[in-house]
Amino acid sequence: MQPRRLLCAIVFGFLAVPSHAEEISDAVVLYQQICIAPDGDLAKSGQLALEKGFSVSSDNFGVKVLSRDTSKGLSVPFVKLSSERPDANRLVGVCEVFGSTAHMSTFLDYVESQGLVEMPREEIFPDAGDKIYLRYFAAKDCLASTGYDGKCRLVWTVGDPPVGENYSGAFRFSRNSHHDAVGQQ
């Protein structure tokens, strides 16, 4: 092949290959793919995050943070995985995605499709001001649970109040008893 044709083939080849600029950055989409799909399996969540172009930026004391560009420090979106440790708070085993979304209704549709019940924000964070947007949902069978059997699906978000479909904050998923989160024992 002549050098000129080779150069043309390379240029057109690059144009045909999707670029990294098309990476998913919507927090709700990432939340569904990384946190919800593995249903509480943090090892699987970590693997999915790596497949989505994230890399480990820190891994200390059972808390792993994954981001896309570690050279600039932590920037959104990023993923935080907090694994269970016997010597620590039981409200771990949490997968979180921090970032912005233009699809807040998708998050609420998921909550509704799972039949999750919203907990009053006063029970969870009684001192949270009105400027904090907090929605906390638990599976109906969690409400009667007194143990830490890992079968309790918890989904919540906290951040700035949404403006229409646009929202910035954290989306969290875990399978622990809701009693730790609401301060009951």
What is the span of the domain harbouring residue 99? 23-182
Residue 15 belongs to some domain of the structure: no
Residue 13 within any structural domain of the chain? no
Domain count, the chain: 1
User: Given this model, what pLDDT does residue 99 score?
Assistant: 95
Residue 11 is assigned to a structural domain of this protein: no
Three-class SS string for the chain? CCHHHHHHHHHHHHHHCCCHHHCCCCHHHHHHHHHHCCCCCHHHHHHHHHHCCCEEEEEECCEEEEECCHHHCCCCCEEEEECCCCCCCCCCCEEEEEEEECCHHHHHHHHHHCCCEECCHHHHCCCCCCCCEEEEEECHHHCCCCCCCCCCCEEEEEECCCECCEEEEEEEEECCCCHHHHCCC
pLDDT in tens, 17-73: 333 435 789 999 999 999 999 988 899 999 999 999 999 988 888 889 999 876 666
Q: Judge whether 121 lies within some domain.
A: yes
pLDDT tens, position by position, 30-40: 999 999 999 88
Any domain includes 18? no
